[in-house]
Structure 1
Amino acid sequence: MDSKLSKLGYLIVSLILAILLAGYANSQQDSSVTRNAQSRGANGGTGHEKTLGLIATKKSTFSVPLQLNGIDTEDYYISGAPQNVKITVSGSSALVTSAQNTKNFQVYADLKNLTEGEHTINLKVSGMSNDLTYKLEPEKVTMSIAKRAVTNYSVQTKFDNQAIANGYHAGKPTSSVNAVEVMGSTESVQSVQSVVANVNVPRDTKANIRQDVTLQALDANGKPVNVSISPQVTTIKIPIIGGEGSRQVPLKFNGKNGNLKEFNVDADVNEVTISGETDDIEKVKDVQLDIDLKDIEQTKTLNLNLPTKKHVKMEPDNVTVVVTPKEQN
């Protein structure tokens, strides 16, 4: 009897141990699968990836061109439609990456059978995998349809002559684009009076100008007109030429045979007008005049000739100076 009970006890203990071992093995296997799935998600993700079971998922936002379908853009002018729209694609990581890299789908506005005028159109997507979801931004676009008109205009260059430095003047401007094609609705194109390149000239300009300028179509009141211009950018060159000019510079005194700080000096002028070629007078910052202080022991009036400078004329050509020793004050 004892022997039978002992055997039964061993069987029960063995069964319990087997159940415990099986449970432990299953938990280890589940933990390993979870770790492997998490490891794959962490190593292959872009910050927007998740794991759904053992499949990595991803969400990505990028720009794609907007296509205009169902209308002949050679005959009609479309305004208000953006060049690109944003799309957010979600799904398996591999499919999302493929869609982003290949862009093997199309975002379009269906303009078929629409008449001239303004329309609000829901954007559509074709060619997208059924296993992906997406969201467009914007989802709808308001655009205008009008009969297309095309005409040619010559380019006019405009700039502020007053910004050019004194003594300089602008030569004849040149443009890399002399004529442009203006496209738009018939009404808009007919309102265009000129196509201009507005050049920004810095104040006191003395150097030649070279500037890339975006062209503008203007109406009779000088206001911009909403049309397309091709080409849209031109390079403007304006030569800046120096000529004759004049300007005032300060008169400065230097002591000779004595210390000028020990004397008061009063002159009938403090500035001198210099004139000549612009490049020459630009080099003159002031006019220096020497005063001979030897034997001046009391107030003395001197008539001094200004020094001459090559190619530069000075006015006046002499100044009257009253020199007084300071100890007599």
Structure 2
Amino acid sequence: MDKFVDSAWFVRIVALLLALLLYISVNFADLQLNKKASESAQENSEVITDVPVQAYYDTENLFVSGLPETVEVELEGPNSIIESEKRLQDFELFVDLTNVSIGKHRVPIKYTGFSDKLNVTVQPETVEVLVEERVSDYYTVSPEFDSSMLAEGYQTEEVSVDPRRVQVTGSKTALSKIVYVKATFNVEEKVSQETAGTAKVQVLDKDLNKLDVKVEPETVQVSISVKNPSKKVALNLTPTGSPPAGVTVTSVSTDTEEITVYGKESVIKEIEELNIPVDVSSVEKNTTLNVPIEISEGLNFVSPQTVKVKVTVEGSPKSKPKEESNA
């Protein structure tokens, strides 16, 4: 065995095996690199959505409507280049209206900044725009708030907006159609105290269609103050239940002459007195009860919430006859 290991043939065989292993490892790495390069060079197609579109024109004197804010762009070419374009976003889509006269025009959406190795398709390829004289004016904003979002018993006292007036810029045609300039304030929870937040200004025509204009500022601050209407009313104590046999209730009275009820104004204005049931079924002698005041529909609070009621009686409970024992 030692002779074989020391022989020239053993050395040659080992050298050959090492050479084969080295060849396979080098070629395997090359195959992997070639595979990755092939995948990168593979043709692909992908759509990029919500790509903004710019418009170049005389912004001081003209106003352009009809131009979409965003479009779709389809890219065809090597996958690596498409991924690079998506990541860098170093491109621009635009319409050139620098030499366009007032009126309607169909213009192409152009692009720049894409690799020349890509086939670029814009959807839509052309758009119809209306170029008109630019005008501006100031309008008063009407704040709005959904009263169904008020907490039970509360009502709106005042809805205010700041700033009160906004500048609207657009074409003469668009501004002539303005009927409503609104700022609707939306809340997520029921309102029971003064609340404020931002609301977007909407410019609408008579049919509540949104007009293609620019508003400055685009949002305003809306503040809502609420009130919880209240009224003082008298109490009407009504005994309920039957006292024990032999006991007669002669009167129920309280030192609290009136209480304050809170709730919807339409409800409390109809209330002249509040009926308070007093349970006398367990009263055996003159006593004072703490009677809770139940809130009826349309009310959300009463003050005080309990009243002390003095119950005056005559007589005493009759004793139950003792059962005769069996002889």
TM-score range, shorter chain: 0.5 to 0.7
Q: Are 1:234 and 2:220 an aligned pair?
A: yes
Identical-pair percentage: 20
Instruction: Name the residue aligned to 1:278.
Output: 262
One of 102, 110, 114 as aligned partner of 2:96: 110
Q: What RMSD in Å do the two structures reach over aligned CA positions?
A: 4.6
- CA–CA separation in structure 1 for the residues paired with 2:209 and 2:118: 47
Q: 1:255 Cα deviation (Å)?
A: 7.0
One of 87, 101, 109 as aligned partner of 2:73: 87
- CA–CA separation in structure 2 for the residues paired with 1:118 and 1:149: 18
SS in 1 for 2:60: coil
Q: 1:238 Cα deviation (Å)?
A: 0.5
Could you say if the C-alpha distance between residues 86 and 207 of structure 1 is closer, same or farther in structure 2, counting changes exceeding 3 Å? same
Instruction: Name the residue aligned to 1:37.
Output: 34
SS in 2 for 1:115: coil
- CA–CA separation in structure 2 for the residues paired with 1:223 and 1:68: 24
The gaps in structure 2 that reach 5 residues or longer are 1-24, 246-257, 269-274, 294-301, 310-327
Q: 1:312 Cα deviation (Å)?
A: 5.9
Q: Are 1:120 and 2:106 an aligned pair?
A: yes
- CA–CA separation in structure 2 for the residues paired with 1:83 and 1:150: 21
- CA–CA separation in structure 2 for the residues paired with 1:179 and 1:220: 20
Instruction: Name the residue aligned to 2:203.
Output: 217
Q: 2:281 is aligned with what amino acid? A: D
- CA–CA separation in structure 2 for the residues paired with 1:123 and 1:114: 14
Q: 1:107 Cα deviation (Å)?
A: 1.8
Q: 1:66 Cα deviation (Å)?
A: 1.2
- CA–CA separation in structure 1 for the residues paired with 2:116 and 2:163: 49
Contact kept, 8 Å, 1:244 with 1:275, in 2: the verdict is no
SS in 2 for 1:107: strand
Structure with higher RCO (Cα < 8 A, 6+ apart)? 2
One of 141, 155, 161 as aligned partner of 2:141: 155
- CA–CA separation in structure 2 for the residues paired with 1:287 and 1:120: 77
1:236-315 to 2 correspondence within 5 Å? 236-245=222-231, 276-278=260-262, 287-292=276-281, 311=303
Q: 1:103 Cα deviation (Å)?
A: 3.1
SS in 1 for 2:90: coil
Q: TM-score, with normalisation over the residues of structure 2?
A: 0.58
Contact kept, 8 Å, 2:163 with 2:220, in 1: the verdict is yes
Decide which moves more: 231-240 or 109-118.
Answer: 109-118
Q: 1:186 Cα deviation (Å)?
A: 1.0
Q: 1:36 Cα deviation (Å)?
A: 4.4
Could you say if the C-alpha distance between residues 255 and 134 of structure 1 is closer, same or farther in structure 2, counting changes exceeding 3 Å? farther
Instruction: Name the residue aligned to 2:161.
Output: 175
Instruction: Name the residue aligned to 2:39.
Output: 51
Count residues in correspondence.
248
Could you say if the C-alpha distance between residues 308 and 217 of structure 1 is closer, same or farther in structure 2, counting changes exceeding 3 Å? same
Contact kept, 8 Å, 1:66 with 1:107, in 2: the verdict is yes
SS in 2 for 1:278: strand
Q: 2:39 is aligned with what amino acid? A: T
